[in-house]
Amino acid sequence: MITRRGGLTYAAAVLLGVDVGGTFTDAVLVGEDGAIHTAKVPTTPSQQARGVLAAVREVLSRAGAKAGAVTRFAHGMTVATNALLEGDTARTALVTTAGFTDVIELGRQSRPHLYRLWDAPPLPLVPAELRFGTRERTGPDGVLVPLAEEDARAVVDELAAAAPEAVAVSLLHSYADPSHERLLGELIEARLPNAHVSLSSDLVGTFREFERTATTVLDAALSPRLRGYLGELGREALALGVCEPQIMQSSGGLTHLGRAGAHAALTALSGPAGGVGGAQLVAELAGEADVLCFDMGGTSCDVCVLAEGQVPETAERTVAGRPLSLPSLDIHTVGAGGGSIAWRDGGGALRVGPRSAGADPGPACYGRGRDLPTVTDANLLLGRLLGDAPLAGGVALDRAAARRAVGALAHELHLTELACAEGIVRVAEAEMLGALRVMTVQRGIDPRRLALMPFGGAGPLHACALAEGLGIERVLCPQASGVLSALGLAAAPPRCDSARTVMLAGASLGEERLGTARAALLSEALADLRGPAERARVRYELRYRGQSFELPVDEDLPAPVGVPAPGAKVPGADATALASRFHDAHEARYGYRDEEADVELVTMRVSVWGSSPVLAPRAAATAQRAGPQRTALVIGGEPVEATLLLGEPEAGQAVRGPALVALPAATLLVRPGWSGSVDAHGTIALTRSGVE
């Protein structure tokens, strides 16, 4: 099978995507004929590699495929994020410029919440006794105080005595001249060969010393744990006969195993990024350019907005309250999932999350001894999950256990079991509505003009209710909604990024300096890509001189994208064109422009992408074996008789609420007043009654 995209041709391939969630591990296999096979197994938190390989074996078995036939294995996981949240980080030391060892603790002197004075930012990952200063100084224009080798060796001797597992090196203005960091890195690696070393100039390459240092420390603290996991996974995959996995980055692109293990910070949002790729694929096939997406799994809910088919990116965000100055997709996460635990707070109010039952033992209805009620237990009691059919992954549901758990909370709250169950669902939906509003209303985006796309194992159960809460009239439920993140992994391209703060303005912001800087960054990114590039983008971060923050202006480089010759300049936008585009962007964002002010180019970022396969999911070719059935639901406190559709619906099939559509890896609740049909790719497109 040959497919074409953007004028390029791709040979047939067998693609494998595996996504590790808090409750389930999902696998998608795309065969040479384009057929998509899925599998879902329980996540194994203590040994994630075991669950990943179990999912691989299961999907290979279902597809009747041999491990050796897989040509690409893409993997998204939560190892780095979980290690950070759980405090399971390596013993990490920090080397920085003398006098600046406390930058990581001082931060920006801002409180997490303005009026909650008891809230404090997370403690630094490096305690004071593991912070070391060295006598050197680099300024924005180059070295001011050279680093003497004897001084470098002295600080390395101190490091060796502290016996760290990892070392972060972040010197002032090392983006302008990384020579001091590289000298220290070489000496540390020679003296401490078993310690991981992260250099800020290799990882971040941009200014703002607190964010750069915090990101480098985070990278150093997480990389030993991730490297161990990826090493084990790589060995197990090769033993099974599957090719070496590629790892999803927070940016939405894949990187090779070695680079991910060396820089764990690149994968902090690896799991959610896979879902974005799947959402983009489904939205494109459905002809929808502007979509509000939410991925509700067992532990959390991730929200993003597709604007003209693309998700905005950011290079400044936080993970678990810590800065991350690396490219990442703009995704907002809240602790609301199917496994989120419901509880009564000190004031007697019903609360849900952020604590989750996870995969083991899981919700009460999993029958593994857990007696705390969750959103999944509530949905089961309300008839929205089928008690006589196991969940994906073979998990049987115990209605009696769910009733005991919810009943105990209902007794505390002086409610009936069903009222408590509906209350749990409504509170969880209120939490998700808040996250959806953060990404739309709070950013000046009217959600009513968007379509809502739910995915994740639990997302489709709540889609119609959330759409009603936001005034949204269209819902798109993918056929593979329960494993859409794994599908997005299979469709993802390789990607590498390179960035450098340049601080160019006035006469220095000219074609020659721009071309030289672009060429250097492009060469660096292509070297990390380890393969041909399909496309490249330069992002210029500009501001009026004197401002504190920048606005991005993007430029796509012409294909074919090749490594520039030594000393070559990459042609592109000139300073006048950049300034004009910046004035437009500033006016669009802030409502004014100042064409008399100097425009300053602060940072340049180059991103390169490898080729990506073209996937086109298809609806079921044949009708369901059994016709529509009937089932009982509770909606709005009242019992409702609803249509029950089992399995993958065929193209053109009508769906009218109230209805329950039991897809292979998720369940869609179609509330009264919603109706629609299934398109050629298996997506269930719903609209509210009276809306065209």
Query: Which pairs with CB-CB distance under 8 Å and at least 24 residues apart come from 638-641?
Result: 640/672
What is the percent of the chain with per-residue pLDDT over 90, rounded to a whole number? 67
Q: What is the pLDDT of residues 41-92, one digit of tens each?
A: 888 887 889 999 999 999 999 999 999 999 999 999 888 887 887 788 999 9
CA angle 141, 143, 148 (to 5 degrees): 175
- The string of pLDDT tens digits covering residues 582-614 is 999 999 999 999 999 999 999 999 999 998 887
Nearest to 84 by CA among 377, 321, 286, 422: 321
Entry pTM: 0.90
Amino acid in the structure at residue 92: T
In this structure, how many other beta carbons lie within 10 angstroms of the beta carbon of residue 423? 20
Q: Which residue has the higher pLDDT, 509 or 360?
A: 509
Domain holding 69: CATH number? 3.30.420.40
Distance between CA 215 and CA 219 in Å, rounded?
A: 6
**104 and 210 share a domain?**
yes
pLDDT of residue 617: 77
Q: Among 58-72, 149-163, 349-363, 499-513, whose mean pLDDT is lowest?
A: 349-363
Mean pLDDT of all residues in 132-137: 96
The Cα 192–Cα 188 span in angstroms is 6
Amino acid occupying residue 615: L
Specify if 312 maps to a domain.
no
| Cis amide bond preceding 361, omega within 30 | yes
Neighbours of 205 (CB within 10 A): 24
Reply yes or no on whether the pLDDT at 5 is more than 60.
no
Distance (Å, rounded) from C-alpha 129 to C-alpha 372?
41
Contacts 24+ apart (CB under 8 A), 143-150: 143/177, 143/179, 143/180, 147/179, 147/180, 147/183, 147/184, 149/183
In Å, how far from its chain's centre is CA 392? Answer: 23
Q: Which of 532, 540, 618, 551 is nearest to 590 (CA)?
A: 551
- Contact call for residues 233 and 52 (beta carbons, < 8 A): yes
Do 57 and 107 fall within a single domain?
no
pLDDT for 392: 59
Using DSSP's 3-state secondary structure scheme, residue 218 falls into helix
Amino acid at 65: A
Q: Is the pLDDT of residue 569 over 70?
A: no
In a domain, 140, yes or no: yes
pLDDT band at 541 (very low <50, low <70, confident <90, very high): very high
Q: Identify which of 137, 153, 53 has the alpha carbon closest to the alpha carbon of residue 99.
A: 137
- Integer Cα distance of 468 and 461 in angstroms: 13
Final residue before a domain boundary, out of 267, 289, 321: 267
Phi and psi torsions of 27, nearest 5° = -130, 140
In this prediction, residue 83 carries a pLDDT of: 82
**Is the same domain home to 578 and 512?**
yes
Q: 455 lies in a domain?
A: no
Domain span including residue 67: 3-84+227-267
Q: Are residues 681 and 581 in the same domain?
A: no
With tokens 């294909």, the residue in question is: 559
Q: How does the average pLDDT of the chain come out, rounded?
A: 89
Look at residue 393 in the predicted model and tell me its pLDDT: 60
Nearest to 421 by CA among 352, 493, 346, 333: 352
SS3 category, 446: coil
* DSSP calls for 587-606: HHHHS---TTSPEEEEEEEE
Task: For 258-286, write each residue's pLDDT tens digit.
Answer: 999 999 999 998 988 999 999 999 999 99
Residue 74 and residue 188 in one domain: no
For the chain, what's the residue count? 692
Q: Which of 256, 251, 187 is nearest to 227 (CA)?
A: 256
Q: Domain check: are 159 and 258 in the same one?
A: no
Q: Looking at 561-658, which runs of residues are DSSP E strands?
A: 599-609, 629-635, 638-646, 654-656
Contact call for residues 679 and 461 (beta carbons, < 8 A):
no
Query: Which helix (H) or strand (E) segment is 260 a member of?
Result: helix 257-262
Beta strands 196-199; 72-76: pairing state:
unpaired
* Joined tokens for residue 428: 């969880």
Do both 30 and 75 map to the same domain? yes
User: Given a cut of 70, is residue 1 above it in pLDDT?
Assistant: no
Domain count, the chain: 4
SS3 530: coil
Alpha helix ranges (H) inside 247-374 = 257-262, 270-286
Q: Which residue has the higher pLDDT, 154 or 33?
A: 154
Looking at the domain assignment, is residue 680 inside a domain? yes
For residue 487, what are the contacts with CB-CB under 8 A and spacing of at least 6?
A: 17, 28, 36, 277, 278, 281, 480, 615, 617
Same domain, 98 and 216: yes
- For residue 560, the domain's CATH number is 3.30.1490
The answer to whether residue 577 is domain-embedded is: yes
Backbone angles phi, psi at 71, to 5 degrees: -100, -20
Strands (E), 349-396: 350-356
Residue 137: how many CB atoms within 10 A of its CB?
17
Q: Among 439, 208, 431, which Cα is nearest to 307's? A: 439
The CATH number given to whatever domain includes residue 216 is 3.40.50
* 3-state percent helix, strand, coil for the chain, nearest multiple of 5: 35, 30, 35
**21 and 103 part of one domain:** no
Smallest Cα–Cα separation from 34: which of 623, 670, 487, 576?
Answer: 487
Q: Would the pLDDT of 535 be above 60?
A: yes
Identify the band that residue 7 occupies on the pLDDT scale cut at 50, 70 and 90: very low
Residue that wins the pLDDT comparison between 624 and 143:
143
- What tens digit of pLDDT does each residue of 429-459 get? 999 999 999 999 999 899 999 999 999 989 9
What ranges make up the beta strands (E) of 170-300?
196-199, 245-248, 254-255, 291-296
Look at residue 581 and tell me whether its pLDDT is greater than 50. yes
Residue 574: inside a domain, yes or no? yes
* Same domain membership, residue 594 and residue 527: yes
Q: How buried is residue 31: exposed, middle or buried, by Cβ count under 10 Å (0-12/13-18/19+)?
A: middle
Q: Are residues 158 and 44 in the same domain?
A: no
Are residues 525 and 557 in contact, defined by beta-carbon separation less than 8 angstroms? no
Task: Name beta bridge partners: 294.
Answer: 303, 454
The more confident residue out of 382 and 393 is: 382
Confidence of residue 32 (pLDDT cuts 50, 70, 90): confident
Within a domain: residue 149? yes
Q: What is the pLDDT of residues 285-300, one digit of tens each?
A: 999 999 999 999 888 8
pLDDT for res 9: 30
Q: Are residues 37 and 157 in the same domain?
A: no
* Tokens read off for 269: 């949002």
Decide which of 357 and 171 is more confident: 171
The strand pairing partners of 539, in sequence order, are 554, 605
Q: What is the DSSP letter of 531?
A: S
Q: What is the pLDDT of residues 172-219, one digit of tens each?
A: 999 999 999 999 999 999 999 999 999 999 999 999 999 999 999 999
| Exposure of 127 in the CB half-sphere (CA atoms within 13 A) | 6
Q: Which of 33-47, 152-166, 368-382 has the highest mean predicted lDDT (pLDDT)?
A: 152-166
> Any idea what DSSP says for residue 533?
B
For 75, 250, 481, the CA distances from 254, given in Å and listed in that order, are 8, 9, 21
Residue 400 belongs to a domain: no
